[in-house]
């Protein structure tokens, strides 16, 4: 009995022209959505921030919408296709468009770095810094979308529709989460026992992700400063 043919893991499998340096770069750009998912999970686990959790939930919802749209429209990929399944809309383009628009809306519209209740270790970010970061992210995401055309995975129309779909979903999700904040629903959810058990917090709107970690580090240093002499004295008495 012959062994079945081997299959490749399509999640990270990218076709590119090894003789074309641009194609090589585009192959790595195609892996950015996977890298962003790892970043999402890492930030959620390390910071327990509600804002990051909501953004990731919206990102997964955007992926679900893309899955439905592809099977509803059923448009094939380009003739020189390098991928399986339907091509309309581009999931990569929709993914990065949602991320870029969501992050821009957060940085420029929701984030308030000058809030009076921010921690002492918080250093407010200037508007031009947040704008520059938004433009940088938008540029990288545009490169990811363009790489799908260059690698013959999608047509320009499929990429454009994907970008539009991702942007529209991002704006819609921003409106939903804004309503959750101003109506008190988010505050109510954060007080639920399961949410409190996992220590979900909502600080990043008024300060950066590093500030709470730095604050905990400073508290730990102070505690060590106070406890170290006591430990030294006890050690001396014990040895005597």
Length of the chain, please? 240
The sign of the dihedral angle between the CA atoms of 50, 56, 57, 62 is positive
Give the CA angle between residues 186, 99, 178 to the nearest 5°.
25
What pLDDT score does 10 carry? 66
Q: Check residue 205 and give its pLDDT.
A: 76
User: Which ranges of the chain does DSSP label H, i.e. alpha helix?
Assistant: 21-29, 32-47, 50-73, 91-105, 127-150, 156-182, 185-190, 193-197, 210-239
Residues of the chain with pLDDT under 70: 1-3, 6-11, 80-84, 114-123, 208-240
> Tell me, what's the pLDDT at 75?
81
pLDDT at 232: 45
pLDDT value at position 187? 86
DSSP string, 44-55: HHHH-BHHHHHH
């Amino acid at each position: 009995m012959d062994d079945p043919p081997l299959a490749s893991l399509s999640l990270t499998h990218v076709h590119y022209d090894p003789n074309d340096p641009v194609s090589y770069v585009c192959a790595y750009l195609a892996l950015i959505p996977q890298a962003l998912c790892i970043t999402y999970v890492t930030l959620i686990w390390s910071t327990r921030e509600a804002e990051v959790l909501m953004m990731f939930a919206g990102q997964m919802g955007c992926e679900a919408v893309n899955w439905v749209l592809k099977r509803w429209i059923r448009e094939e990929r380009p003739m020189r296709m390098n991928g399986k399944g339907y091509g309309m809309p581009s999931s990569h383009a929709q993914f990065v468009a949602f991320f870029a628009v969501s992050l821009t809306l957060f940085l420029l519209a929701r984030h308030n770095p000058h809030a009076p209740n921010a921690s002492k270790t918080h250093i407010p970010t200037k508007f031009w810094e947040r704008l520059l970061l938004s433009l940088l992210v938008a540029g990288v995401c545009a490169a990811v979308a363009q790489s799908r055309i260059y690698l013959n995975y999608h047509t320009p129309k499929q990429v454009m529709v994907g970008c539009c779909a991702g942007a529209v979903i991002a704006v819609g999700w921003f409106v939903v989460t804004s309503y959750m904040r101003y109506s008190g629903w988010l505050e109510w959810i954060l007080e639920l026992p399961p949410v409190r058990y996992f220590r979900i917090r909502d600080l990043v709107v008024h300060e950066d992700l590093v500030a709470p970690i730095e604050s905990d580090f400073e508290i730990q240093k102070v505690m060590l400063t106070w406890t170290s002499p006591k430990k030294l004295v006890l050690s001396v008495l014990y040895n005597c």
